[in-house]
Structure 1
Amino acid sequence: MAITNVAAGTNVHEIADGVYRINTPVGLVPGGFSFNQYLVVDDQPLLFHTGPRKMFPLVREAVESVIPVTQLRFIALSHFEADECGSINEWLAAAPQSVPLCSRVAAMVSVNDFADRPAHAMGDGTELVLGKRAVKWLDAPHLPHGWETGFLMDTRTKTLFCGDLFTQGGTGVAALTGDDILENSEAFRQPMDYFSHSTNTRQLIEHLAAESPGTLACMHGSAWHGDGASLLRALGERLMSSPSPQ
């Protein structure tokens, strides 16, 4: 692990071949919290999540510790929210050949208006070749929230960039763990329940589990390595047994 900003604690760790987790701990809630971005290094490098706009200098510094920022080609987001894409225009300016990458719905309703360049919009199941690897887009509307939501799967390393799924409290000290993260994430979710509890939650979970991910690249907390399909299905069972918020 490399600390790229001592004052902020921003750090970079390779969690899979060519996949780097950029982590910044923050004190937003008791016990701490963290924001993660994921850099995929290939012929056409991709950054998944930008972090909030005010965090741009920290994330840029971290990316620069791995590759020149100007090499970035895709700035990807799961859904339209500040910690997903708050600094997208700063990234588009810093990497002149890059474009946003998102779902077709996100491009239509938000990204193509907000971003300074049109998005590369992906439909469910479509793949994008980055070089030696490809990434596959998986639509997941309202999982956990936002009708434009989707996730990316690195088909080479079987890494699922799963956004806000399995959000954990704490600062994510362990970049990659095989320990249980479900209990931590459920303990964090239940007091504020930010899941939409849509009618097809089970089908959406199964859509992701069918990809058999070996690594779950979480946006908040530690990334996780193991039987991703089983862990996703366990989350689905918890969601189906939880009452919808009134």
Structure 2
Amino acid sequence: MYCVKNITEDLYWIGGSDRRLALFENIYPIPNGVSYNAYVLMDEKTVLLDTVDSSISELFFENLAHVLGERNLDYLVIDHMEPDHCAAISGVVFRYPDVKLVCNTKTAAMLKQFYSFDVDSRILLVKEMDTLNTGKHTLTFVMAPMVHWPETMVTFDSVTGALFSADAFGTFGALSGNLYADEMNFEKDWLDDARRYLTNIVGKYGPQVQALLKKASALDIRMICPLHGPVWRENLGWFIDKYKAWSSYTPEDSAVMIAYGSIYGNTENAVNVLASRLADAGVKNIAMYDVSVTDSSYILSEAFRCSHLVFASSTYNGGIFTPMETLLLELKAHNLQNRTVAVIENGTWAPAAGRQMKEIISSMKNMTILSEELTIRSALKEEQLPQMEALVKAIAGSM
């Protein structure tokens, strides 16, 4: 049975959700599922904007057929060629052989890599700020390279002010009937997933996101239609400001996040003492994560949110405890910068994690590593409490 949403008089959402998928891109846990959005414009010419993942393709084609009715499909706009959005393209071509594929040159090359049908006879190539008139509507194409693939573009409808934003402004999470962000308690129930989505998927490409935001500021955007998550028609500025902060690596909150790697519990005990002393010093909303328990995508998202980070690690095989090393390398790979960092190390006979953690952190941009640090040999001792207090004072005092 079809399931569509009428967004405007002639614009329809024909997507769907997957609650069974455990890992997005086979790496990021998505306990709340994910939605795949596609849109149809029923103008003098009919336009499909992107397709969906293969997991919901049957529903997608039923939705598309219902909206089109007896009409043919004139155009398929391909904003992004990642398989969770392009998987149904060959099915569209098979069902609507006269469809024109609207895309840029980089997308055209990828079409030939993914599919075997005759691409050249079907494509309508567009470049920066080209337009396509479909009757009442005029679509403008804006290139958005590396947000987060090199071929990505976004499509702007000047009549409705709708920005079809590809993966930008998307979020993890399945839709549950409500399509619009203003129909949900987005800040409470969705913001963490939105942040985790942006920072993990696009975090490395902050400058490219900033470039797209600059282009978008010149458009009269009144609605944002992403390929994942809810559609935005109210309070767009609030969400855009979040993107500005995340993509410029500006801390969202003045807050402390503590990530620790502990083998037998002694390093964990030390950070519990630290957190308690920080609270006594007036620090609120401290976040703490065991790197062996919490997937690194959640901790990375929190690192983008918080201004101050503490990394505490046992020494393992003469190096950093493996899950902690993975986390730090993930932070570096995602271009995290502009943070104040404290380091705690533990080691029974040869503490080495601290130096190696600082080497990784120092290779990241604009990271202030506090000179106050703490080395534990097996377990925290009472005589080390002055060092702990110095560390607490340095963290709290720099906030």
When normalised by structure 1's length, the TM-score is 0.85
My pick for the range that moved more, 15-24 or 236-245, is: 236-245
CA-CA distance at 1:94 after TM superposition: 0.7
CA contact (8 A) 1:54 1:87 kept: no
The yes-or-no answer on 1:110 pairing with 2:199 is no
- After superposition, what is the alpha-carbon deviation per residue over 1:18-45, rounded to whole angstroms, capped at 9, x for unaligned? 1111231212131221111111111211
* Aligned equivalent of 2:240: 232
Of 130, 139, 161 in structure 2, the residue corresponding to residue 135 of structure 1 is 139
- SS in structure 2 at match of 1:136: strand
1:189/1:41 CA distance change after superposition, 3 Å: same
* Aligned equivalent of 1:245: 334
CA distance in 2, matches of 1:77, 1:100: 7
CA-CA distance at 1:105 after TM superposition: 2.1
The yes-or-no answer on 1:187 pairing with 2:187 is no
1:116/1:232 CA distance change after superposition, 3 Å: farther
Structure 2 counterparts to residues 1-246 of structure 1, below 5 A: 4=2, 11-27=3-19, 28=21, 29-68=30-69, 71-107=72-108, 109-112=109-112, 114=115, 115-118=117-120, 119-143=123-147, 145-173=148-176, 174-178=178-182, 180=186, 183=191, 184-190=193-199, 192-226=200-234, 228=236, 231-241=239-249, 242=304, 245=334
- After superposition, what is the alpha-carbon deviation per residue over 1:115-148, rounded to whole angstroms, capped at 9, x for unaligned? 53332111110100111111110001011x1111
- SS in structure 2 at match of 1:65: helix
1:40/1:196 CA distance change after superposition, 3 Å: farther
Unaligned runs of 5+ in 1: 5-10
Letter paired with 2:231: A
RMSD between superposed Cα atoms in Å: 2.3
1:199/1:171 CA distance change after superposition, 3 Å: closer
CA distance in 1, matches of 2:124, 2:153: 14
- SS in structure 2 at match of 1:142: coil
CA distance in 2, matches of 1:158, 1:132: 13
1:63/1:186 CA distance change after superposition, 3 Å: same
CA contact (8 A) 2:181 2:231 kept: yes
Higher relative contact order (CA 8 A, sep 6+): 1
| Identical columns (%) | 20
If each structure's helix is expressed as a fraction of its own residues, which one has the higher value? 2
CA-CA distance at 1:236 after TM superposition: 2.2
Letter paired with 1:18: D
CA-CA distance at 1:229 after TM superposition: 5.6
- SS in structure 2 at match of 1:75: strand
Letter paired with 1:111: L
If each structure's strand is expressed as a fraction of its own residues, which one has the higher value? 1
CA contact (8 A) 1:209 1:229 kept: no
CA distance in 2, matches of 1:12, 1:95: 20
CA-CA distance at 1:198 after TM superposition: 4.9
Q: If you compute each CA radius of gyration, which structure gives the higher value, 1 or 2?
A: 2
Letter paired with 2:194: S
- SS in structure 1 at match of 2:43: coil
CA distance in 2, matches of 1:69, 1:105: 33
Between the two proteins, the alignment pairs up a number of residues equal to 235
CA-CA distance at 1:167 after TM superposition: 2.0
Letter paired with 2:180: L
1:239/1:157 CA distance change after superposition, 3 Å: same
CA distance in 2, matches of 1:25, 1:200: 28
CA distance in 1, matches of 2:55, 2:165: 23
CA contact (8 A) 1:92 1:116 kept: no
* Aligned equivalent of 1:7: none
CA distance in 1, matches of 2:232, 2:225: 7
Letter paired with 1:187: R
